[in-house]
Structure 1
Amino acid sequence: MDVLINVFVGLHIIGIAALLGGIFPQLTAVRAGAGRFTPGMLHGALTMLVTGVALVGLNQADDQSVNNVKIGVKLALLVVILALVYVKRDEEKVPSPLLGTVGLLTVANIFIAVLWT
């Protein structure tokens, strides 16, 4: 079971990398107001959602304790990220604060995962 959990953790990290990897190259475009949400960012957020749900289920099936409040906060942030990226995915230009918000929420999600014990 530990191998399966570690595989899903790796896939979860790949989803995070896809989401943040779509934001970082656009930092110069964001200053000009020409940033946009790429399909990879949406796929990364969806990967985070699917693998996160799978990880919670696998950990509970393995009789490991799961902090449901922490998972709820992370899920709420991810739902906001997904909503923003999904709704604005077809627009040529996305307002700079919106792209920054998605980046900050993603980083907040990472820090919650790492620091909240």
Structure 2
Amino acid sequence: MLVQERGLADTVLSPAVEALRLILLYAHLIGFALLLGGVVVQYVSGPLRINPPMLWGAVTQLVTGIALAAPLRDEGEEPSGPKLGVKLVIALMIFVMVFFSRKREVVNKGHFLAIGGLTLVNAAVAVFWR
């Protein structure tokens, strides 16, 4: 088992808790795809504005990210507090930028690109910060 290879406690998550964690992770990835895909499609297709997939992606990312921060892992596998804090701040920034610009006919190019850039930065924090 992976838990034993790492030298951690011999306790293993219950199958139900592990299934919940994986479902949340899957939904989190769908939110990322909606958000980044919405940015790319809107950037390529025409006037820069917030489309519904971007809003739903930002909401999904924020909600599932908070849920994933819950202690659904064995001891010793918890992500660091500073990492979670950085990811939360970035996710909140993205959500605020998307939510309050959603009704504008045209969004400033820098604002729009910052949404896409922060989305990529948040993914990079998740992948590279160990």
TM alignment of 1:69-84, pairs within 5 A: 69-84=82-97
Instruction: Decide which structure has greater helix share.
Output: 1
Aligned equivalent of 1:41: 54
Equivalent residues of 2:30, 2:57 under 8 A apart: yes
Q: Any stretches of 5+ residues in structure 2 without a counterpart? A: 1-16
Q: Residues of 2 paired with 1:90 and 1:58: CA distance?
A: 37
Q: Any stretches of 5+ residues in structure 1 without a counterpart? A: none
Shift of 1:52: 0.8
Q: Could you say what the CA RMSD is over the residues aligned between the two structures, in angstroms?
A: 1.5
Q: Residues of 1 paired with 2:55 and 2:93: CA distance?
A: 12
Question: Which protein, 1 or 2, shows the higher relative CO under an 8 Å CA cutoff with sep ≥ 6?
Answer: 1
Percent of residue pairs identical: 36
Letter in 1 for 2:81: N
Over 6 Å off, 4+ runs: none
From the CA coordinates, give the structure whose radius of gyration is larger.
2
Corresponding residue SS for 2:72: helix
Letter in 1 for 2:55: L
Equivalent residues of 2:38, 2:54 under 8 A apart: yes
Q: Residues of 1 paired with 2:63 and 2:93: CA distance?
A: 15
Given the two structures, how large is their TM-score scaled by the length of structure 2? 0.81
Shift of 1:25: 1.1
Q: 2:101 aligns with which of 74, 88, 93?
A: 88
Q: Residues of 2 paired with 1:113 and 1:99: CA distance?
A: 22
Q: Which moved more, 1:18-27 or 1:107-116?
A: 18-27
Aligned equivalent of 2:43: 27
Given the two structures, how large is their TM-score scaled by the length of structure 1? 0.89
Equivalent residues of 1:74, 1:112 under 8 A apart: yes
Letter in 1 for 2:106: K
Between the two proteins, the alignment pairs up a number of residues equal to 113
